Amino acid sequence: MKPAWDRLMGDFKDHATALVADVDCTAEGKPLCDASGVKGFPTIKWGSYDSLADYEGGRTYEDLKKFADENLKPSCSPSNMDLCDDDKKAEIEKLLALSDDDVSTQIEEGEQKMKDAETAFEEAVKELQATYEGLQKTKEAALAEVKTSGLGMLKAVKASKAKVSKDEL
């Protein structure tokens, strides 16, 4: 992926409104990575610097380039109200009227909901893993029991009888 990303950075090197860049999350970029929820490497984020989203698309140059061309442009936001339709403008104005404490509280609530969803998912996956492991052991025990009960010998006898029948013809 690195060559594709480097090529994309070159394509956007002197772009007027979009930035494609590397951030070293193990060095001076760590605070940005922590604030943006980066948990593994490589991670691709996109959007406004203050509201980055996870990139979920392909990792080839063609995939990255197509996504960048379609999405890395100014969009409706508090700093680009002229790009908003009337509904989005009204939503932004309503949010801008909130106190800093109210905005922080709503952000914390949203982040907690996301964390709760992730925790519920991880717990369900653990339960599924335990169920899978139990089913795997049950299956292996059943297969072992059938094999030790003489299935192999039965198959040998059947093959032998079939051979005798052919020889008699």
Q: Is residue 83 part of a domain?
A: no
The confidence score (pLDDT) of residue 110 equals: 94
Element (H, E) at 52: strand 51-54
Average pLDDT over every residue of 123-134: 97
Confidence band for 79, pLDDT divided at 50, 70 and 90: confident
Tens digit of pLDDT for each residue in 20-33?
888 888 888 888 88
The confidence score (pLDDT) of residue 34 equals: 85
Is residue 102 domain-shared with residue 59, that is, in the same domain? Answer: no
Is residue 67 domain-shared with residue 126, that is, in the same domain? Answer: no
- Which residue blocks in the chain are alpha helix, DSSP H? 2-11, 30-35, 61-71, 86-96, 100-146, 152-168
Is residue 63 domain-shared with residue 118, that is, in the same domain? Answer: no
Does position 169 have pLDDT exceeding 70, yes or no? no
Confidence band for 167, pLDDT divided at 50, 70 and 90: low
Q: How many domains does the chain have?
A: 2
The confidence score (pLDDT) of residue 168 equals: 66
Does position 118 have pLDDT exceeding 90, yes or no? yes
Query: Residues 116, 121, 127, CA angle at the centre, nearest 5°?
Result: 130
The confidence score (pLDDT) of residue 18 equals: 82
Q: Is residue 85 part of a domain?
A: no
Confidence (pTM): 0.55
Highest mean pLDDT among 1-10, 72-81, 138-147: 138-147
The confidence score (pLDDT) of residue 144 equals: 93
| CATH code of the domain in which 52 resides | 3.40.30.10
Average pLDDT of the chain is 89
Task: Domain of residue 46: give its range.
Answer: 1-75
Query: 1: which residues sit within 8 A by CB, 6+ positions away?
Result: 42, 59
The confidence score (pLDDT) of residue 39 equals: 83
The confidence score (pLDDT) of residue 51 equals: 76
